[in-house]
Amino acid sequence: MSDYSIKKLFWKRFKRNKLAIAGGVVVLALFFIAAVAPFISPLNPNDIDRRHILEPPGAGHLLGTDDLGRDVLSRMIYGSRISLSVGFVAVGIATLIGMLVGAISGYYAGWLDRIIMRFIDIMLSIPTFFLILAVIAFIGPSIWNIMIVIGLTSWMGVARLVRAEFLSLKEREFVLAAKALGAGDMRIIFGHIMVNSLSPVFVSAVLGVAGAILVESALSFLGIGIQPPIPSWGNILTLGKDNLEIAWWLSVFPGLAILITVLSYNLVGEGLRDALDPRLWGSGE
């Protein structure tokens, strides 16, 4: 099957999944909002207006204001930048580490593979969120610390995926042919096997973005994530918790944003997984 046929079949299968398409539309909309935030934000997200403290949603402030009179809609729009940045940078770090570790483990196998896999088992036995809490509490909260820590504690699943692909692919004819032609290990790993192992990694990365956004929101909600006055959906939720009885909008709107964003990435990931599954290609769909 040619590359063109595979791409055509992939797109045909993906666009039949209406939920995945809907999730993709939401994801693209979030990218657009984050990219043009300075132009579509009604106000500066950090402008304080003492005359409109905890004002409910209305014509002046579509999503209301917080306990300092700041416009919630503006803070939500700028908060989308934080969530997407954390999601993609953290997943980028995790994917890079996971691909390298999984490739080495799967290609060389033997005692090195056993050592790496036992280390991965140890990492997976530690509750990831509590590990992140402990590390952030020790090194201090900042956007870069959060992105790096989430990335360094979430690479194990990618490593296992890549290892499994390498164990399957390294005995294929194209790899044996490359070895017969004198190709070195690095060329075989990155030029032949890795490029054929990217489909499950891509799906895992998309699903990982949703997880990273959720972790960042939880950390900010607990007060050890993104620190005010930088707007984040999580720290807006914290204000909602403190004013739940009198300012419901501080909990509802950021909560819905997190829910819709995470759900959309999960729907896109599930759609990609189904569309990229070669076992379904022979069905003529």
The neighbour count for residue 79, using CB atoms within 10 Å, is: 27
Could you tell me if residue 249 is inside a domain?
A: yes
Could you tell me if residue 127 is inside a domain?
A: yes
Tokens of 160: 């296992």
pTM: 0.87
Q: 58: buried, middle or exposed (CB in 10 Å: 19+, 13-18, 0-12)?
A: exposed
Number of domains in the chain: 1
For residue 282, the model assigns a pLDDT of 52
Tell me the C-alpha to C-alpha distance, in Å, between residue 34 and each of 27, 83, 125, 197. 11, 9, 36, 31
For residue 284, the model assigns a pLDDT of 47
* Whether the Cβ atoms of residue 75 and residue 236 lie closer than 8 Å to each other: yes
Q: 146: buried, middle or exposed (CB in 10 Å: 19+, 13-18, 0-12)?
A: buried
CA–CA distance, 191 with 197 (Å, rounded to integer)? 11
Tell me the C-alpha to C-alpha distance, in Å, between residue 68 and each of 45, 225, 228, 236. 11, 20, 12, 12
For residue 229, the model assigns a pLDDT of 86
The label of the residue with tokens 């590359």 reads: 3
Q: What is the pLDDT along the chain (285 residues), one digit of tens a residue?
A: 445 566 777 778 888 889 999 999 999 999 999 999 999 999 999 998 888 899 999 888 999 999 889 999 999 999 999 888 998 999 999 999 999 999 999 999 889 999 999 999 999 888 888 888 888 888 888 889 899 999 999 999 999 999 999 988 888 888 888 888 888 888 888 888 888 888 889 889 999 999 999 998 888 888 888 888 888 898 888 888 888 888 899 999 999 999 999 999 999 998 888 887 665 555 445
CA–CA distance, 209 with 245 (Å, rounded to integer)? 32
Could you tell me if residue 14 is inside a domain?
A: no
For residue 31, the model assigns a pLDDT of 93
* Whether the Cβ atoms of residue 95 and residue 205 lie closer than 8 Å to each other: yes
Peptide bond between residue 229 and the one before it cis (omega within 30 degrees of 0)? yes
Assign residue 158 the CATH number of its domain: 1.10.3720.10
For residue 95, the model assigns a pLDDT of 95
Which residues are within 8 A (CB) of 100 and not within 5 positions of it... i.e. 6 or more apart?
A: none
Q: Which domain holds residue 217?
A: 33-277
